[in-house]
Chain A
Amino acid sequence: MSARRRTAAAALLSVAVIGGALAGCSKKDDKASADAIQVNASDTACELSKTTFPGGQVKLSVHNKGTKSTEVYVYAAGDKIVTERENIGPGTHVDISAEIKAGSYEVACKPGMTGDGIRQKITVTGEGGATAKADTRLQDAVTAYQKYAQEQADATIPVVTQFAEAIKAGDMEKAKGLFAPSRVGWERTEPVAESFGDVDPKTDTREDGLEPGQEWTGWHKLEKSLWADGAITDADKKLADQLVADLTDWQKKIPQAEITATSMANGAKELLDEVATGKVTGEEDRYSHTDLSDFAANVEGAKKAYDLLKPVAAEKDAELAKTLDSEFAAIQTLLAKYKQGDVYTSYDKVTEAERKTFADSVNALAEPLSKLAAAVVVN
């Protein structure tokens, strides 16, 4: 076995030498690995090679030297997640990249993937190489997106309040009618909401996503009561109030969201990932079958982020912008066929063949969308 490997290696080396000019973009990689912050995670420690470093595109090179799988988080004040990586197996190594602005943060390693983790304070200074030449148009895009996220949250509160009132009044039909509309603002900006690590588990967890010991709260518990159980309990009425309170908490946190051009672009792709894994399959709203409403909101939110980044994207990669324009238009045209007035077709009425068409359309958009982040922030 090893003998064959060596033969292979020898042959290869010759290819490399003969091929000659393969160096290509290795320079960039070398720079990145040289600048990476080494994180040695063990069962009892979380050691960083540097705790003060310049902002911009930051790479954490994580080595799990412990015996348990671990997670690594970078938290801003109030435990807002800047970036995270789960499921880093013992003895494995992963690189995490994120755009981090100047400020104070904490890095947490979570051996066993539970609890608050072992924390290290870090300071990110303002003289980042990558941010130094930041395009002012990107800063404008971030500002505009932050405003959009706030507007979506602001518009959600009155609707979710009506939804809660209907539940407390025991008005099933009214509550059912308000369920999907109450989710639209959230679904449009879900990656922002999810960056506040504690809000999403309280408001948007599905029954199968519950961790042992976790109480089920939020939209989907109420959805199950309304559609599957056909009854509103006293506990549900309390949950309705709690949903309003949790979403008000979300609304107030938006100004603190760590939004960057990279996170906007990646967020747009993540919204399509949400569609691909949760909505196209009908898992998200399995009792109400209002998946297409969430689907449309995810697409709208992704398009908003793209539209704001488009001036830069179109300049740096005109072909990509052209493709994204036509694929966003195609998917929105497709969705429009399933909308009657303000209501989308119930997903249990959507055939397998139609679902495949949706899946194709999501693939056609999400694949080029995954290239947006690099297109707007690199070079």
Chain B
Amino acid sequence: MNAETPSAADPGQPTAPSGEPQGGVSRRAVIGWAGAGVALGAAAAGSVAAATLRDGDSAPGAAPSVDIPFYSDHQSGIATPVQDRLHFAAFDVTTGNRDALVKMLKDWTKAAAVMTGGREVGSGATGLAEAPPDDTGEALGLPSSRLTLTVGFGPTLFEKDGVDRFGLRAKRPEALIDLPKFPHDNLDPARSGGDICVQACADDPQVAVHAIRNLARIGMGVVNVRWSQLGFGKTSSTTPEAQTPRNLMGFKDGTHNISGTDADALGKHVWVAPGEGPEWMTGGSYLVSRRIRMHIETWDRTSLKEQEDVFGRTKREGAPYTKQQERDAPDLGAMPEGSHVRLAHPDSNDGLMILRRGFSFTDGTDGLGRLEAGLFFLAYQRDTRKAFVPLQQRLAASDRLNEYIQHVGSAHFACPPGIRKPGEWWGQALFG
């Protein structure tokens, strides 16, 4: 072995371009050395620019695969481009010890900064022979895969069964309501709620799972996983110039989603403005998650006309009724009454928009031989009371899609603004 083999970081030393000083060996360093024969020549002519290259860059037509910066005014994983895979986890806090919770949030933030940079947690996936490694290791050799980690705080963190558990009751935002029951809801408590959530999105499911697993491990004794959801095939994008993805019903989803680069729309619909509720939420956003089961089998034996009538768009092109192209301005009046797009369109809702970031899921079968599949709906908004709630009330009342779907899980979280620099931590302004 080479004495320069990077097997662990020297604390306090910058280890990567993002400037995160806390630990973190580049996971791919291991592979880099192992397969160094050919690579050496390239490295000799290498440069700082080369250091930021990622796998996908050399593949023609592939999406650019650079790390998504962890440090930012807003949390990444909201307006940043949507990745291909999701592992979402809702945690319950099991301790009453506020200091332990704060310490965990600090540890989580450090680990998140490291993992989103494609580096190893703590002193790495190997180390002392006598101790279990800090990092669980399954992401060794993998790039960051555009991993983002986004945290949110649920209503029960502020108050549970009437108890002010951590002295946070007074800081609960009014917008962080207990969601009302909507018609047709059939919510499973074991798949709903949670004190804290972490949304891990990455282009590689192994990277997303690794992130949640390592955070859960760090959190042992403080939190446990209440429920979690794996997702694939993003159903909405924040990059409208790219091809609109499809949901499991085969329809394009999110044609009119908010663009991640449209600062005006983000400011108007997604980010909490100064003075709206408690200061700690300024620059944050409210997240609603809904696990929406699709009755796949009945949908599949529905005629094409009925399917298109349900959405108000054509299946292959995604064109609004009476129009030719997906992005043609829809004539809502030409769409069938109760069609999904007609009901959900901003023009039917006083311009209301939410930022959708959902994923498809398939969790095996349901015991009756039917796919346990659907849409794990994730929506970010500036004020849930003025966005998801009125929209869902309208949809639950008359959406033709309701015949083919059922909402089976639900949660609501307040996602604070971003971590701006090393040393800050998730929830600092809330707990501080």
Contacts and interface: CB of A to CB of B under 8 A. Distances in A.
B365 interface: no
Contact of A59 (B94, B129, B220, B222): B129
Nearest to B128: A374
A10 B33 CA distance: 9
B57 A7 contact: yes
Contacts of B346: none
Interface string A20-43: 111111111110110000000000
Contacts of B224: 356, 359-360, 363
A4 B36 contact: no
Interface string A335-379: 000000000000000000000100110011101101101100110
Interface string B121-148: 0010011111110000000000100000
Contacts of A28: 128
A24 B7 contact: yes
Contact of B1 (A15, A18, A33, A368): A33
Given A13-B46, A15-B26, A8 B32 contact: yes
B143 A8 contact: yes
Interface in A253-271: 262
A77 interface: no
A19 B16 contact: yes
A16 B26 contact: yes
A131 interface: no
A228 B214 CA distance: 41
Contacts of A33: 1
A235 interface: no
B4 interface: yes
A61 to B, nearest CB: 11
B126 A29 contact: yes
Give the residue among A6, A27, A28 with the most B Cβ atoms within 10 A: A6
Interface string B1-30: 101111111100111110000000110110
B256 interface: no
A132 interface: no
Interface string B282-301: 00000000000000000000
A5 B43 contact: no
A15 B42 CA distance: 13
Contacts of B40: 13
Contacts of B14: 19
A23 B1 contact: no
B47 interface: yes
Interface string B142-179: 01000000000000000000000000000000000000
Interface residues of A, number: 51
Nearest to B190: A352
B61 to A, nearest CB: 13
A236 interface: no
A27 to B, nearest CB: 7
A97 B39 contact: no
A378 B127 CA distance: 12
A21 B10 contact: yes
A231 interface: no
A377 B130 CA distance: 8
Given A19-B14, A22-B10, A28-B128, A3 B58 contact: yes
A2 to B, nearest CB: 9
A10 B9 contact: no
Contact of A374 (B16, B31, B131): B131
Nearest to A20: B13
Give the residue among A3, A21, A30, A377 with the most B Cβ atoms within 10 A: A21
Contact of A11 (B38, B51, B131, B132): B51
A14 B143 contact: no
Contact of A23 (B10, B48, B55, B57): B10
Contacts of B32: 8-13, 15-16
Contacts of A15: 16-17, 26, 29, 32, 51
Contacts of B128: 28, 374, 378
B130 A97 contact: yes
Contacts of B58: 3-4, 7
B137 to A, nearest CB: 14
B50 interface: yes
B106 interface: no
B210 to A, nearest CB: 17
A8 B58 CA distance: 9
A260 to B, nearest CB: 11
B131 to A, nearest CB: 3
A215 B1 CA distance: 49
Contact of A4 (B1, B55, B130): B55
B217 interface: yes
6 contacts: A14-B50, A14-B51, A17-B43, A19-B14, A360-B224, A363-B221
Interface of A: 3-30, 32-33, 57, 59, 95, 97, 262, 323, 327, 356, 359-360, 363-365, 367-368, 370-371, 373-374, 377-378
Interface of B: 1, 3-10, 13-17, 25-26, 28-29, 31-33, 35-36, 38-40, 42-43, 46-48, 50-59, 94, 123, 126-132, 143, 217, 220-222, 224
Given A9-B42, A22-B15, 18 more contacts: A7-B57, A10-B53, A11-B46, A12-B26, A17-B46, A18-B51, A22-B7, A22-B9, A24-B10, A24-B25, A25-B123, A25-B127, A30-B5, A32-B129, A33-B1, A323-B221, A371-B131, A373-B131
